[in-house]
Structure formats: structure tokens, C-alpha cells
Structure 1
Amino acid sequence: MRIRWIPALVSVVVGVGLLFGGWYTYDQFAVKGPLEKAINKLPDVVDSTSSFDNGAAKVSLTLDEGANLRSVYDQLTNDGASVLKGRELKLDVSGAVSSDELDKLWSTVLFDVAQAMETKTYSQIPAALDKLAAENAGLTVNTEMDDTNVYVTLHKGEAVKYIILPRTPATMEVWNNASKL
């Protein structure tokens, strides 16, 4: 029995083309398309990019100056629920105008916020941020919380910094095995 190389090669190319073409079509129309529609319906979104990696949907948003971070997150999780089912939403949010000054101000209060997150005394977060706002003229702070995240918005002049802090702290796997040594 002799193999016919041209029909075999054509069959492989057509099969691979159908397989990857079907996967690409599914990815574009059933996954990325609905997520992009949900993102485009969000208020105050200036720019966005999204990708899917290892069971997580990564969305980067640039928001307008007066955007409410919690409502944007809620609307994205509700409108994109059909696409996000079983996937973790990793949202990276930045303002249309960022500032090194806001980054420095955030870093000065980061220890207090981290301690409040670790001890789950979330009421200390607005207190620490209000103290920061009182010490820095022109800085306004907005904090909100829901079941999954704490949302912080720092605003000074034209610059805005958005921070999303997950309420479920990440656990370190190393500590689970430390007692076995």
C-alpha cells in the first residue's frame, strides 16, 4: 500500500484550518465579543483592552475623571456574567491623567491600609485616607466597599488614581507546608 502524499497533506491542512478557524471564531464571537460589548456599555470608559489567560479575564480600563469605580465594576460583572462564568475577573483601572504625586501619597498610607485589610478592620481604611486628605490640600478621597472588594479613588487636580483591593486575602502556600519541616 502506497501513501498518496498530496491528498494526505491537503487533508491535514484542511483539518488544521477548520480546527483553528473554529476555535478563533468561537473565541471572537462567543467570548471576546460579548465582553467587549459589556465594556463598551460602561459609563466613563475612555479606553479598554481585554485578554483571557488561564481561566481569568484580564481587563484594563482607563476611566474618565468623575467615574465611580464601584458602579463600573458592578456593571462589568453583571453585564459580562455570561462570559465570565467560572473565570476570575482581574480588573486593572487607571485614570485618564495619572500622577506620580498620587502614587507617592498612596504609598505613604499603604501600611495602614494593608494592616486594615489583613486584620479585616475595613473601617480603618476611610479613616486613614481621610487623615491623608486632611494633610494634603486639594486631595479628595472616596472609599466604597462591597462583598468582594474595597474601592479607593484618590483625586487631586486633574489626576486620578483608582485602587481595587480584594477583600479575600491571598494565602501563601509555603506556610501550609512549614510545619512539616
Structure 2
Amino acid sequence: MKDMKLKPMAVTFIVCLALLIGGGFTYQYVAQEKPLQQSLEQAQFSNIQLSGNKNEGYIVTLDVIDGNTLALAAEEARNILSDYKIEPVSYTIQLKQESTSLEKVWQDHLFEIAEIMANKNYSKLPELMHSIEASHEHVEASASMDQQNVYISLVADNQRFDQILPLDGGTMGVWNNEE
């Protein structure tokens, strides 16, 4: 035992530790993150950006491609994340929004939308969408829902304004700069 040198053992330990840690990070990138990013890039209904990490949570940013619905884009993103075993509690979906004239249309109808959501009178949404279309020329308004959210889209002249409102009574996000 006295003949053994401590220096070669320490160097061997450090090299093995570096290989183990480096291999773990390489595996995570090559086998998990890169295929997920490739799947997100191939999305049909929206351009999807993923930021964050598994430990702190992901932020999924959707930019709906013209001619597609917000509900289909959100469902596609959820399905891709589910395929990679990312649970819904691990990510937040947000929408890429550019300031457009449609934001004013949204602001004009905030009270009605908030009232519908607060009172859970979702059957009034189609009526409100028709009212928006009637009062704002060239604006197409649509609303749909699934088990989790209400999806509202306003489209006009190559502009788009989308909102996802939760059914669970959480933060509705109808106000500007809502977190």
C-alpha cells in the first residue's frame, strides 16, 4: 500500500469524474434536447420556441402560422412535449404577440370577455365573436375551447391577435401585461 502513489489515483479519479459528467451532459443534449428541438421545428400549425430547462420549467412560445387555429397549434405543442415525457406542470404556453391594431379590438371587448369567463357562460362566446366581426370591418373573430382553455383569435389584414384563457379559474390573462 505504501508503494501506491496518491497523485495517479487523484488524476484518474478527476478524469473519470469529468468523463462521467461530460457524458451525462452530452447524452442529455444528443438524445433528449436536440430531438425535441427538431420535433418542435417540424410543427405544422405554428412556429414553436422552447426556453428554460427541465428543472426550472419550460416556456413554450407559439407563433401561429396563418390559416391555422390557435387550438390546433396549442394541441400540437402539448402533444410534442408529451411525446418527450414533459408533463404539463413543467411548462407554460405563451403566445408571440406583436402590437397590432387588433389589440385595440381586444381592449374594446375586455369587459365582455372577462364577464363570460368569470361567469362561465362560454356559450356566449360565439355571439360575442359575431358581434366583434359586425362592429369591426374586415376582422375575423373565432373562439374555441377544449377541456383546459378557451382560445380566442382575431385576424385581419395579415395581422393576428390570439389569447389563451384558462377554464380552471386561474389567471385569465385578459389584461395587458398579465403574468
TM range (shorter): 0.7 to 0.9
In the alignment, what sits opposite 2:92?
90
Q: Give the superposition deviation at 1:166.
A: 1.6
In the alignment, what sits opposite 2:71?
70
**CA distance in 1 between partners of 2:29 and 2:18 (Å):** 18
Contact kept? 1:49, 1:61, Cα under 8 Å: yes
The TM-score normalised by the length of structure 1 is 0.74
Gaps of 5+ in 2: 172-179
In the alignment, what sits opposite 1:175?
none
**CA distance in 2 between partners of 1:170 and 1:44 (Å):** 26
Residue aligned with 1:80, SS:
helix
Gaps of 5+ in 1: 172-181
In the alignment, what sits opposite 1:117?
117
**CA distance in 1 between partners of 2:106 and 2:169 (Å):** 19
Q: Within 5 A, what are the aligned runs for 1:10-159? A: 11-12=13-14, 14-16=16-18, 18-19=20-21, 21-45=22-46, 47-51=47-51, 52=53, 54=55, 56-88=57-89, 89-94=91-96, 98-159=98-159
Q: Deviations over 1:58-117 (max 9, x none)?
A: 21122322122212222222233132443434222336xx44311121122122212211
Counting matched residue pairs gives 167
**CA distance in 2 between partners of 1:110 and 1:73 (Å):** 22
Change (3 A) 1:9 1:168: farther
Change (3 A) 1:57 1:84: farther
Moved more, 115-124 or 82-91: 82-91
Contact kept? 1:141, 1:155, Cα under 8 Å: yes
Change (3 A) 1:41 1:131: same
Residue aligned with 1:114, SS:
helix
The TM-score normalised by the length of structure 2 is 0.75
